[in-house]
Amino acid sequence: MQRLLISVRGPKEAIEAARGGAHIADIEYPASALGTPYPLNILAVRHKLNSHGYTKVAVSTNIGEKQHDRSSACQAALGVATSGADIVKCGFAELPYEAAVYQGETLVRTMRKFYPRKK
């Protein structure tokens, strides 16, 4: 199934994206290298979409430039999920392959334990 992802900075852009047919509002913060947004901005986007009837529009974001420490990465993922993100993205740049696999498995296991419906 193809889905349209549109990058947004905040609630106003998220509503415009949803009106334009977006299936996913990808929250970014342009001042950061990977655009890691503040949790309150994630929450504001989720609330604005819900209050305008766009409850099926998923919210996605990332957990930062370099999350090489597993515990910090898991805490960051849980933080953005708690703030309203349905999809949590992360990068494994500069990690050796085996470490990246383990990091990914740990993140997925943690998210599934706390939020079984999120991705």
Domain extents for the chain? 5-114
Rounded CA-CA distance 20/84 in Å is 21
Q: What is the pLDDT of residues 76-100, one digit of tens each?
A: 999 999 999 999 998 888 889 999 9
Rounded CA-CA distance 83/115 in Å is 12
Query: What DSSP state is assigned to residue 2?
Result: -
Give the residue ranges of DSSP H helices in 1-119.
11-19, 39-51, 70-83, 97-114
Looking at domain 5-114, its CATH superfamily turns out to be: Aldolase class I (3.20.20.70)
- Point out the least confidently predicted range of 22-26, 42-46, 65-69, 71-75: 65-69
Q: What is the pLDDT of residues 1-38, one digit of tens each?
A: 899 999 999 999 999 999 999 999 999 987 766 667 88
- The pTM of this model reads 0.89
Query: What confidence score (pLDDT) does residue 33 get?
Result: 63
The residue type found at 75 is Q
Answer positive or negative: Cα dihedral of 21, 23, 29, 34.
negative
